[in-house]
Amino acid sequence: MPTSTSKYQYITCDPTKCVGCQLCEYICSYTKTGEFNTYRSRIRTVRAQEVLITAVACRTCEDAPCVIACPRDALSQDPVTGVIRVDA
């Protein structure tokens, strides 16, 4: 598997905004593989508690389609560091 060519390396997610829709996973897999398949996504969401859902892995694309796709604005990308986070 080829390594990421992105200059960005980290992701954070605000669990108070994330509703667990997995849309970020679907758009990531579609962008990278051409199919909507969460198993082929580079980002993963996990439910750590019944009310806590957060992203734990990401290749941090420079254009971040997961940020664009999130219906609750739970993700944003810092323009300098590329860190995907919530504080928009």
Give the separation between CA 68 and CA 37, rounded to whole angstroms.
Answer: 18
Query: What pTM does this model have?
Result: 0.51
Spatial CB neighbours of 24, under 8 Å, sequence gap ≥ 6: 41, 43, 45, 55, 66, 67, 69, 70, 75
48-79 pLDDT, tens per residue? 666 555 666 676 778 888 888 888 888 888 88
13-30 pLDDT, tens per residue? 777 788 778 888 888 899
What pairs with residue 27 in β-bridges?
Answer: none
In the numeric block, which tokens belong to residue 46? 């996990």
The count of C-alpha atoms lying within 13 angstroms of the C-alpha of 41, restricted to the half-sphere facing its C-beta, is: 21
